[in-house]
């Protein structure tokens, strides 16, 4: 991104791109027909790059899907201004626009098609999930050039199941640019990207900004390019030209009310919760982790950083029992709550919980928010039994503490298939906490969270650490580390390097690991 603020590109032909006239809509399949967007009127101009801002659940992702032609208004109308003239068909929206979103990425992960990185890019030419004909050599050359600009050339021959979250997001961003759409819709586009790939993408995007109109959603102001001149705010489904008044809540200042010294235990316990010896892990015959020796003791809370594809998420899945060490390596897990070494997968799943984008993506069941949280008692995908009154009460109490009573009541009865990514992320944390686990594994825990939700989320993690819950987290952002973090490591090409062997990190160090 440029350091200065150049004027918006002047090379666009003047005139409207998309017009919304009094648009309201509810999501398909919602029998209660709850309105998500309310009476939106907006004329987008060619070259009118705009950042859409607002809290989780305000309707930003839904508005982008509407602009892309995935949804149809319940009232009002939407017009796409094509080269052939104004069009109201959804196909016109799909023809002039491309969308990258967390929901789209989850769909790719759920399907797990047998497709490589090059083919992922090439599907962007027709905006189809698979290739139905082989594009000409010139299109292959375009895909390879985009991959080089995105620092993703090494991913072209990699299969979809072997890609990390950040690697897949990088390819989906390149896929959206393959046919140079007139309208590019980016929903939290940088979540999961390391700094190098964020910079590469923004450099590439700036080079396209003179021909493509870009609409962003972002919860981090530093991720809005300087050439993105306009701002719009969504507040409870209403589109505003000025920022709405902040709604302060009783939990908004939670993070600064807890004294620092109570968050980090003063004494490191004698038991190793994890002990890894010479551990390697293969995923789809691809060696991801290499000869790892590492231990985590009671009283320790770890943050692991590293580039996209370095093996961070694979390490968390290994600790959670979702991946297995190759022959010659060993892993031991001690669970204080059970007072023993974990001997089988049932004990592991009871005492160790993982919250990640991948687990969220694979959880494609028509459950309510409360049912999703209750499934955490068995750490199951879906629900297979009735839950007791005591279990339901515990789940509701955890939801109240994480979401606040009002939002908790709303999400408890809502279908998880109609919630925002940020709302789902908090529900998956609540799911991980039921049943009182010993260890919490967090993979990019603040992805898709707005500022207030992020502060509340991190404050809760600090409070949980003070009660004895241990954590291992992965994050590209130092500010996403809770204050309890007192150990650091970096993954480099599948090998783990210790950053902070000292007994305790000072407060500044806990936030500066990179």
261: helix, coil or strand? helix
What tokens appear for 172 in the block?
């989906």
- Name the helix (H) or strand (E) containing 139: helix 137-149
Say how far apart CA 235 and CA 245 lie, in whole Å. Answer: 10
Please list the helix, strand and coil fractions of the chain in percent, rounded to the nearest 5, in that order.
Answer: 35, 25, 40
Say how far apart CA 345 and CA 360 lie, in whole Å. Answer: 20
pLDDT at 12: 57
Q: Tell me if 320 sits within 8 A of 351, measured CB to CB.
A: no
16-240 architecture in CATH?
A: 3-Layer(aba) Sandwich (3.40)
- Name the helix (H) or strand (E) containing 409: helix 405-413
Say how far apart CA 278 and CA 294 lie, in whole Å. Answer: 9
> For the domain with range 272-512, which CATH number is right: 3.30.460.80, 3.20.20.70, 3.40.50.300, 3.40.980.10?
3.40.50.300
Phi-psi region of 306 (alpha: psi -120 to 50; beta: other; left: phi over 0): left
Cα 226–Cα 230–Cα 234 angle in degrees, nearest 5 = 120
Radius of gyration of the chain (CA): 23
Q: Tell me if 112 sits within 8 A of 160, measured CB to CB.
A: yes
Q: Tell me if 324 sits within 8 A of 281, measured CB to CB.
A: yes
Phi-psi region of 448 (alpha: psi -120 to 50; beta: other; left: phi over 0): left
Altogether, the residues listed in the chain come to a count of: 514
Q: Tell me if 447 sits within 8 A of 425, measured CB to CB.
A: yes
Cα 239–Cα 191–Cα 454 angle in degrees, nearest 5 = 70
Give pLDDT < 70 ranges for the chain. Answer: 1-13, 29-30, 246-270, 500-514
pLDDT at 503: 39
Say how far apart CA 426 and CA 429 lie, in whole Å. Answer: 5
Q: Tell me if 303 sits within 8 A of 473, measured CB to CB.
A: yes
Give phi and psi for 276, each to the nearest 5.
-110, 130
pLDDT at 269: 59
pLDDT digits (tens, 9 = 90+) for 233-281: 999 999 999 988 765 544 443 443 333 333 444 445 567 999 999 999 9
One DSSP character per residue, 72-125 reads --SEEEEEEEETTEEE-SHHHHHHHEEEE-HHHHHHHHHH--S-BHHHHHHGGG
Say how far apart CA 408 and CA 252 lie, in whole Å. Answer: 16
pTM of the entire structure? 0.82
How do the domains of the chain map onto residue ranges? Answer: 16-240, 272-512
- Do domains 16-240 and 272-512 share one topology? The answer is yes
């Amino acid at each position: 991104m440029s350091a200065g603020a150049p004027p918006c590109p002047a090379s666009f032909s003047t005139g409207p791109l998309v017009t919304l006239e009094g648009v309201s809509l509810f999501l398909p399949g919602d029998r209660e027909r709850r309105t998500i967007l309310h009476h939106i009127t907006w004329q987008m101009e060619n070259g009118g790059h705009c950042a859409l801002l607002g809290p989780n659940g305000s309707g930003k992702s839904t508005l982008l899907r509407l602009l892309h032609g995935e949804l149809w208004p319940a009232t009002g109308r939407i017009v796409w201004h094509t080269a052939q003239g104004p069009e109201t068909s959804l196909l016109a929206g799909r023809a002039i626009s491309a969308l990258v979103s967390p929901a789209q990425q989850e769909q790719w992960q759920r399907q797990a098609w047998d497709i490589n990185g090059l083919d992922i890019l090439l599907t962007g030419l027709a905006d189809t999930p698979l290739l139905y004909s082989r594009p000409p050599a010139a299109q292959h050359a375009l895909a390879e050039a985009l991959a080089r600009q995105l620092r993703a050339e090494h991913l072209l021959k990699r299969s979809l199941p072997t890609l990390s979250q950040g690697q897949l997001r990088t390819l989906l961003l390149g896929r959206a640019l393959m046919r140079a759409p007139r309208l590019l819709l980016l929903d939290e586009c940088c979540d999961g990207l390391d700094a190098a790939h964020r910079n590469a993408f923004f450099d590439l995007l700036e080079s396209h900004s003179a021909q493509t109109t870009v609409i962003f959603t972002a919860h981090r102001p530093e991720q809005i390019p300087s050439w993105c001149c306009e701002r719009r705010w969504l507040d409870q489904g209403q589109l505003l030209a000025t920022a709405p008044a902040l709604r302060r809540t009783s939990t908004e200042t939670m993070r600064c009310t807890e004294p620092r010294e109570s968050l980090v235990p003063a004494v490191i316990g004698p038991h190793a919760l994890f002990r890894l010896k010479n551990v390697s892990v293969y995923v789809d015959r691809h060696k991801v982790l290499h000869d790892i020796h590492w231990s985590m003791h009671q009283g320790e809370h770890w943050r692991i950083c590293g580039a996209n594809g370095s093996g961070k998420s694979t390490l968390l899945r290994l600790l959670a029992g979702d991946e297995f060490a190759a022959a010659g390596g060993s892993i031991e897990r001690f669970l204080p709550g059970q007072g023993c070494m974990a001997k089988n997968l049932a004990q592991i799943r009871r005492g160790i919980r993982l919250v990640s984008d991948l687990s969220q993506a694979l959880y494609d069941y028509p459950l309510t928010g409360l049912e999703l949280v209750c499934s955490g008692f068995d750490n199951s995908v879906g629900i297979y039994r009735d839950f007791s009154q005591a279990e339901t009460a515990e789940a509701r109490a955890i939801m109240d503490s994480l979401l606040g009573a009002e939002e908790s009541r709303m999400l408890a009865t809502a279908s998880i298939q109609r919630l925002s990514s940020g709302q789902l992320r908090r529900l998956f944390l609540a799911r991980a906490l039921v049943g009182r686990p010993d260890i919490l594994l967090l993979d990019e825990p603040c992805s898709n969270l707005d500022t207030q939700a992020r502060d509340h989320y991190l404050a809760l993690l600090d409070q949980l650490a003070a009660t004895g819950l241990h954590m291992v987290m992965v994050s590209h952002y130092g500010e996403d580390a809770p204050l309890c973090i007192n150990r650091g490591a970096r993954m480099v090409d599948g090998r783990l390097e210790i950053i902070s062997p000292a007994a305790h990190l000072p407060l500044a160090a806990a936030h500066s690991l990179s």
